[in-house]
């Protein structure tokens, strides 16, 4: 197997340009972030922050100062509201399972939407085995939650509602504030969680303005290192630990704090927020260019998700009809353009992306879907290159499709 991968990599030799657009699935970490992290592996603050020696106190100082920073970007009231976890998946698990644990006597009902990330979806499935029930609120053709339905399904039994702030696949920016009001109106005791991983650093919000009880943020989604994220837990909200072990500075996550990763996460946050508007404008400009270029050059293309301001500035998700997505990702990779697909062929159980299905895309439309995300580091040249490569790749795969499937 490994030999095969070596050969696959060899096939990529001599690429003259490479553009990484698969930011949904992992990130490229900018130099500034890596440089900020480096000293923390062995030069300073390498101690355990709970211990009584210099490297330990340095670690404590570092973690507290950086927690302060992230708390500020999120708009928290206190430092204690920021709880580091090893990532978005873990923060979502903590939010859902931790709330289910703490609220199990108040009710057994969870409400999510049909377009939540896998780390929400699968956790609710797990909880169903332990007596909890989940209701999924439908979304419209652009991925917006049906607020009326949301109001109908939340009841006295509902202990938690979880709706992501910006959709990870199709970029839909949800009306979280409105949704929250509807939920609290029906049941003021319901805990409201939002996975804000795709909103943090891209869409202006604070947890205070939104009024949410819990919010997930992730480091790699803002070009920080993988392996770190955080769960915001509003003061006064009780979430139980889901793992046990040595508790240090993080009351909700046991184990030794990973100071270099926290440094990287904080640095990435700082870079995303220090020129927030410029960054967003840059992403939006390239997003427009990319989408306009694709629609101008290629026929039979569909945009997945909304247009304009109601779409996250980095997200481009399009379906190329008569063009299977996995084949297309390989073809693009061989030209140095790295993307992912929601095609059933890329999935273990041969079903297309549940998000695309939820917005009413049929199998065929999902079959040729490609997800791309833009960062502030991408350039006009990058997008020009992508726009040069994609039409050729689509044309070649469509040639293989030929008349197959044409009724």
Residues annotated as catalytic (active site), given as ranges: 345
Q: What number of other Cβ atoms are within 10 A of residue 136's Cβ? A: 18
Residue 25: count other Cβ atoms within 10 Å of its Cβ.
12
Q: Pick from 357, 372, 387, 390: which binds other proteins (CB under 8 A)?
A: 357
Distances, alpha carbon 92 to alpha carbons 124, 230, 393, in Å: 10, 9, 37
Q: How far is the CB of 403 from other proteins (least distance, A)?
A: 6
| Segment interacting with other proteins (CB under 8 A) among 85-93, 202-210, 227-235, 398-406 | 398-406
User: In this chain, which of 126, 147, 303, 334 binds other proteins, going by CB under 8 A?
Assistant: 334
14 binds other proteins (CB under 8 A): no
Query: Which is closer to other proteins, CB of 237 or CB of 330?
Result: 330
By CB under 8 A, the residues from 59 to 118 that bind other proteins are 118
Please, which residue, 138 or 254, has the CB nearer to other proteins? Answer: 138
Tokens of 99: 């709330």
- The answer for residues whose C-beta is within 8 angstroms of residue 228's C-beta and 6 or more apart is 84, 85, 86, 87, 219, 258, 261, 262, 264, 265
Q: Does 120 bind other proteins (CB under 8 A)?
A: no
**Separation of alpha carbons 190 and 162, rounded Å:** 10
Full DSSP string of 39-74: HHHHTSS-S-TTSSSHHHHHHHHHHHHHHHHHHHHH
Whose CA is closest to 215, among 243, 186, 237? Answer: 237
Closer by beta carbon to other proteins, 48 or else 401: 401
Q: Does 5 bind other proteins (CB under 8 A)?
A: yes
CB of 124 to other proteins, least distance (A): 13
What's the min distance (Å) between Cβ of 16 and other proteins? Answer: 18
Q: Is 399 in the site for other proteins (CB under 8 A)?
A: yes
| Contact pick of 50, 258, 384, 401 for other proteins (by CB under 8 A) | 401
CB atoms inside a 10 Å sphere around CB 318: 20
Which residues are 110's β-sheet partners?
134, 160
Confirm or reject binding of residue 52 to other proteins (CB under 8 A).
no
15 binds other proteins (CB under 8 A): no
Q: How far is the CB of 273 from other proteins (least distance, A)?
A: 31
What is the DSSP code (8-state) at residue 339?
-
Do 207 and 234 meet the contact criterion of CB atoms below 8 Å apart? yes
Contact pick of 13, 129, 308, 349 for other proteins (by CB under 8 A): 349
362 binds other proteins (CB under 8 A): yes
Among 64, 307, 345, 392, binds other proteins (CB under 8 A): 345
The residues, any chain, with a CB within 8 Å of residue 215's CB and separated by 6 or more, are 74, 165, 193, 194, 195, 196, 207, 231, 232
Phi-psi region at 323: left, alpha or beta (left = phi > 0; alpha = psi -120 to 50): beta
# residues contacting other proteins (CB under 8 A): 41
Which 366-385 residues touch other proteins, going by CB under 8 A?
Answer: 366-367
Residue 360 makes contact with other proteins by CB under 8 A: yes
- CB-nearer residue toward other proteins: 161 or 397: 397
Q: What is the largest CA-CA distance in the chain?
A: 74
* Both tokens assigned to 63: 């973690």
Closest CA to 66 of 40, 31, 105, 93: 40
Q: Does 324 bind other proteins (CB under 8 A)?
A: yes
Bin 245: left if φ > 0, else alpha if -120 < ψ < 50, else beta. left
Minimum separation from the CB atom of position 341 to other proteins (A): 10
CB of 241 to other proteins, least distance (A): 26
Instruction: Decide: helix, strand or coil at residue 78.
Output: coil
Out of 344, 371, 372, 390, point to the residue binding other proteins (CB under 8 A): 344
- The residues that touch other proteins, with contacts defined as CB under 8 A, are 1-2, 4-5, 7-8, 11, 118, 121, 322, 324, 326-327, 330, 334, 343-352, 354, 357, 360, 362-364, 366-367, 399-405, 407
């Amino acid at each position: 197997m490994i030999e095969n991968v070596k050969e696959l990599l060899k096939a990529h030799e001599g690429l003259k340009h490479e553009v990484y657009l698969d930011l949904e699935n992992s990130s490229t970490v900018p130099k500034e972030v890596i440089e900020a992290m480096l000293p923390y592996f062995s030069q300073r603050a390498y101690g355990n922050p709970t211990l009584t020696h210099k490297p330990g106190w340095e670690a404590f100082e570092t973690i507290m100062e950086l927690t302060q920073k992230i708390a500020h970007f999120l708009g928290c009231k206190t430092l204690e509201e920021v709880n580091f976890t090893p990532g978005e998946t873990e923060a979502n698990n903590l939010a859902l399972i931790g709330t289910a644990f703490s609220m199990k006597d108040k009710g057994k009902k969870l409400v999510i939407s049909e377009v939540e990330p896998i780390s929400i979806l699968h956790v609710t499935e797990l909880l169903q085995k332990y007596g909890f029930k989940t209701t999924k609120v439908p979304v419209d053709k652009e991925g917006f939650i049906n607020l009326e339905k949301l109001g109908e399904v939340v009841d006295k039994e509902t202990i938690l509602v979880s709706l992501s702030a910006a959709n990870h696949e199709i970029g839909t920016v949800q009306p979280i504030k409105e949704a929250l009001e509807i939920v609290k109106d029906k049941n003021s005791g319901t805990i409201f969680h939002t996975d804000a991983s795709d909103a943090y650093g891209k869409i202006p919000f604070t947890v205070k303005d939104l009024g949410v009880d819990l919010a997930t943020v992730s480091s790699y989604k803002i070009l920080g290192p993988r392996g770190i994220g955080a769960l915001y837990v509003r003061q006064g909200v009780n979430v139980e630990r889901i793992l046990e072990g040595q508790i240090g500075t993080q009351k909700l996550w046991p184990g030794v704090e990973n100071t270099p990763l926290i440094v990287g996460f904080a640095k990435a946050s700082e870079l995303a927020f220090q020129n927030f508007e410029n960054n967003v404008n840059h992403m939006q400009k390239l997003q427009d260019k990319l989408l306009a270029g694709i629609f101008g050059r290629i026929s039979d293309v569909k945009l997945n998700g909304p247009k304009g301001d109601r779409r996250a500035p980095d997200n481009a998700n399009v379906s190329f009809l008569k063009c299977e997505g996995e084949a297309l990702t390989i073809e693009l990779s061989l030209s140095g353009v790295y993307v992912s697909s929601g095609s059933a062929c890329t999935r273990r159980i041969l079903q297309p992306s549940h998000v695309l299905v939820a917005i009413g895309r049929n199998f065929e439309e999902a079959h040729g879907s490609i997800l791309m995300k833009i960062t502030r580091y991408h350039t006009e040249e990058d997008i020009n290159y992508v726009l040069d490569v994609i039409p050729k790749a689509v044309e070649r795969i469509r040639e293989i499709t030929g008349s197959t499937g044409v009724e």
